[in-house]
Amino acid sequence: LAKTTQPISMDSYEGQEVNITCSHNNIATNDYITWYQQFPSQGPRFIIQGYKTKVTNEVASLFIPADRKSSTLSLPRVSLSDTAVYYCLVGYSGNTPLVFGKGTRLSVIA
């Protein structure tokens, strides 16, 4: 699976939009980009998945440029409850084990 690089930590104030960028220079043609969220003492939770351009759901948006060597997870108007670790994963099939990096620890401040 393609190696990913993302910031170790980020801070944000409540109500702001947060953008977390992930680099994946070696992404393969068939690879999808997926983001998971993990709260303390809980298992990770799927947030969003995309292949190219833009994907939006009720939780977040995922922006993927044409070369697909990076992606940006956008969280609109964060609240304290969005404080969590966010993982970027790149791979082809949902039926293979996930490979997590260290993720980005987002702290939302009141």
Partner 1 sequence: DTGVSQDPRHKITKRGQNVTFRCDPISEHNRLYWYRQTLGQGPEFLTYFQNEAQLEKSRLLSDRFSAERPKGSFSTLEIQRTEQGDSAMYLCASSHNSGFSYEQYFGPGTRLTVT
Residues that bind partner 1 (CB under 8 A): 32, 34, 41-46, 49, 85, 87, 89, 91, 93-95, 97-103
By three-state DSSP, how is residue 82 classified?
Answer: helix
Query: Between residues 99 and 109, which has the closer beta carbon with respect to partner 1?
Result: 99
In whole angstroms, the minimum distance from the beta carbon of 105 to partner 1 comes to 9
Dig out the tokens for 110 from the structure.
């009141």
Identity of the residue, 45 or 77, whose beta carbon is nearer to partner 1 in the bound complex: 45
Identity of the residue, 49 or 61, whose beta carbon is nearer to partner 1 in the bound complex: 49
Q: How far apart are CB 84 and partner 1 at their closest, in Å?
A: 13
Q: Closest separation between CB of residue 17 and partner 1, Å?
A: 25
Q: Which of 54, 4, 49, 45 is nearest to 28 (CA)?
A: 4
Give the separation between CA 103 and CA 84, rounded to whole angstroms: 10
